[in-house]
Amino acid sequence: MIENNVLFHNFTDADFAWKRDGQEYKFAAGSVTPMTDKEFNHFAKHLVDQELNRQKIRTNDEAKRAEFLQKCRAGAYTLPNIVSNSDLQIPSTQVIADEVPTEKRFCEFCESKGGRHLKSCTRPQEEAFADAK
């Protein structure tokens, strides 16, 4: 189970957006977001680079990099203690059978996906050439 155990803090006064695994994530200025260590390392690196560039500081300045990285970490995130399952408020979902779409079949006698009947089709023979007319 992956736990969101680190709090990522966008310490800048501007919104920050960056992609991870092809999906874009947006962090409002000053926001704090729980995430995994791996996600934190990814986003913090790019936020620090962006802020160093914005302030016209070289990105290989280790002292400034460490300072900004420390500002990104807002602490550890702990889940609230849940005494029992009755404390969880999970809305129930119901699926109504009439609303579930059914797939229209090509042939009621074989599992053909359409276009042609299977060779093993057990349809009555008078229907075999009915669609050829």
Where are the chain's structural domains?
6-76
Reading the block at residue 96, the tokens are 């109504």
d(CA 58, CA 56): 7
How confident is the model over 74-90, as a mean pLDDT? Answer: 58
Q: Is the pTM of this model over 0.75?
A: no
d(CA 27, CA 33): 8
Hey, CA dihedral for 48, 53, 57, 59, is it positive or negative?
Answer: positive
Segment of 23-27, 99-103, 117-121, 124-128 carrying the highest mean pLDDT = 23-27
Decide: 99 and 107 in contact? Cβ < 8 Å: no
Segment of 69-73, 90-94, 96-100, 117-121 carrying the highest mean pLDDT = 69-73
List strand residue ranges (DSSP E) for 1-133, in order: 6-9, 16-20, 23-27, 32-35, 73-76
